């Protein structure tokens, strides 16, 4: 799926996300990009003077990131058990709803605890996820979309569970060269503001700001994004 995901990632959206991050991260500090995937945030941040370490559980995605930029510092690992010493990073980021794919809320809590452990005093963590309430309004009954990418066609069906706890994306990919059809399923746990804030505070983070978009919009129930900027004090 990694090679297709590299095409799916919206370049315009990525630029907005990078602009948001540059407004909240100090340059010349060590940054951990959790679930970095193909490096679409890590690589340009490194090229703009940040010292970013990318971590992901997928060796396939990390290989794509390494092919994109050889100098990238990448680590294969589980976000619940970060292979770094305490207070190793001045900043940590989890962008574009990379948070919530673990099997339980307890696992999410464990991963947040690890982020807290590895963040130095006066550090900053940015966690960007979908806004649960907005997705419930839009996708409760399911919605199908057909998309055309350079090397494949994609049929995407997006559905939110009745209780709003889960977002399920079903992707049918048809490769233009081989004609091969593949099906992928992605399920991510959704959070509303109070739920994720409670988890952050439970592990010792202090929430500084909550945004509803990458241009610094104030968060409300209609916001598509839910972006936390938190610290250790």
Residues 30, 49 within the same domain: yes
Q: Which pLDDT value is given to residue 142?
A: 82
> Do 34 and 90 fall into the same domain?
yes
Give residue 1's pLDDT: 65
pLDDT of residue 140: 78
Side by side, which strands form the sheet with 152-160?
143-148, 152-160, 166-175, 181-189
pTM of the model: 0.93
Number of domains in the chain: 2
pLDDT of residue 8: 82
Query: Are residue 140 and residue 36 in the same domain, yes or no?
Result: no
Q: How far apart are CA 106 and CA 121, in angstroms?
A: 25
* Residue range of the domain that includes 142: 133-188
pLDDT at 6: 77
Q: Report mean pLDDT in 10-residue bins for the chain, 233 residues.
A: 76 89 92 96 94 96 93 96 98 96 96 98 96 89 90 94 92 95 95 97 98 96 96 90
Distance CA 98, CA 201 (A): 19
pLDDT for position 57: 96
CATH of the domain at 102: 3.40.50.150
């Amino acid at each position: 799926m990694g090679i297709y995901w590299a095409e799916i990632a919206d370049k315009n959206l990525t630029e907005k996300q990078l602009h948001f991050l540059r407004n909240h991260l100090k340059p010349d500090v060590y940054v951990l990009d959790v679930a970095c995937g193909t490096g679409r945030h890590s690589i340009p941040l490194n090229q703009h003077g940040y010292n970013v370490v990318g971590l992901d559980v997928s060796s396939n995605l990390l290989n794509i990131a390494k092919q994109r930029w050889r100098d990238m510092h990448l680590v294969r690992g589980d976000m619940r058990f970060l292979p770094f010493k305490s207070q190793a990073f001045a900043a940590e980021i989890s962008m574009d709803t990379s948070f919530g794919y673990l099997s339980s809320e307890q696992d999410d809590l464990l991963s947040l605890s690890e982020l807290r452990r590895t963040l130095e005093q006066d550090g900053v963590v940015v966690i960007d996820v979908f806004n649960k309430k907005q997705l419930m309004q839009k996708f409760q009954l399911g919605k199908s979309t057909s998309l055309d990418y350079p090397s494949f066609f994609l049929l995407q069906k997006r559905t939110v569970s009745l209780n709003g706890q889960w977002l399920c994306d079903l992707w049918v990919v048809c490769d233009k060269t081989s004609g091969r059809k593949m099906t992928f399923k992605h399920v991510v746990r959704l959070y509303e503001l109070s739920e994720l804030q409670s988890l952050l505070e439970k592990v010792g983070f202090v929430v500084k700001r909550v945004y509803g978009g990458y241009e610094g919009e104030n968060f409300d129930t209609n916001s598509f994004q839910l972006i936390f900027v938190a610290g250790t004090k």
